[in-house]
Structure 1
């Protein structure tokens, strides 16, 4: 039996927290109308794939993004708390531009400088984020050998986790994941590969 696992990953569609410039995990933020359209387009993009499971962050915007794909694939959305966005502690939900800048600086330190000790306020370190995300992807690899699945998550947590899992390093910096644009990563039994990092269209 093949151990190869294909995972279509993508960031959730455009959501209210993004358009309102609110920082943090913001678990209850819904998709905008445009975000729902992007989610539907992502499902159509993957219509030719035999999707065996659809995983999403437990955040509302990720579950809403996952729903059209799961419906088309005739599977349930499996919402996982470990796929949520990076936690920023007491600054959660802030619209302060300084907090957003600090959040970007911390993410850069994780991705570019490989310094996972940094955190925003009393939020998560890069070590915490990569540990929980890595656990999810490893579990998916073990449970879906020979299958194709989808994972819907968030820009920062997916970027730092996949940058490390696929050993892409700083190459992913400067090209933030676009909303609801699927890209493929693959597990061959020992190594994760990301053939190409998506760019905004």
Structure 2
């Protein structure tokens, strides 16, 4: 018995690439992001989804809504899919963070470095993997769409590949991308990575 997870990064918002949003409230999709979300809905419409889950954050919920609507499903909120808790760094510009020694340490050793007031990558990975296992036991042989965040999806991928969190920087998970992960009693495998459902858009 295997469960197939379509790991979807939320679509684009106006702070993308400029601000470490983390779990700050009020970060919603822009015009481009809404178009990307609709394209994702078209991409996943024929996949026979049994359920759609999303991180509690607005940008993930807004990305999941068209996917669920196209397939006649409701969006389930799953805290395990939430963004990494960046603590005091949430809402800061990346330009400002680049001068912070703690930020440099985080990027060099995320598995053991804790953002001020936040969680380590290993802690985030642990709650994510527990969430995936719970879904696997709940749904069994099924295909599920999970809308989450770039680093969280990367943590699932590196685990499936037998790599540590430090390998997260070796590949890209772009806005509104789909990566496919399959879980079974035998373990995990990655079927696709960073697939884009949209054309002619600048992510």
Aligned to 1:47: 45
Q: TM-score, normalised by structure 2?
A: 0.85
> Which residue among 116, 125, 129 is the counterpart of 1:130?
125
Q: Structure 2 unaligned runs (5+)?
A: none
Deviation larger for 11-20 or 130-139: 11-20
Contact 1:107 1:160 in 2 (8 A): no
The residue aligned with 2:175 is 179
SS of the residue corresponding to residue 16 of structure 1 reads: coil
Closer/same/farther in 2, CA of residues 23 and 69 from structure 1, 3 Å limit: closer
Match among 60, 63, 83 for residue 61 of structure 2 = 63
Moved more, 27-36 or 13-22: 13-22
Unaligned 5+ segments in structure 1 are: 111-115
- Matched pairs, number: 194
Kindly state the Cα deviation for residue 167 of structure 1 after the two structures are TM-superposed. Answer: 2.1
Question: Distance in 1 between the 2:184 and 2:150 partners?
Answer: 25
**What is the TM-score of this pair, normalised by structure 1?**
0.85
Mapping for residues 137-152 of structure 1, pairs under 5 Å: 137-152=132-147
Alignment of 1:69-108 (within 5 A): 69-95=67-93, 97-99=95-97, 103=103, 106-108=106-108
Q: Equivalent residue of 1:17, what SS?
A: coil
Which SS does the other structure have where 2:53 is aligned? strand
Shift of 1:55: 0.5
TM-fit CA distance, 1:162? 2.8
* Post-superposition offset of 1:86: 1.1
Higher strand share: 2
Q: Name which of 179, 185, 189 aligns with 1:189.
A: 185
Instruction: Specify the SS of the correspondent of 1:55.
Output: strand
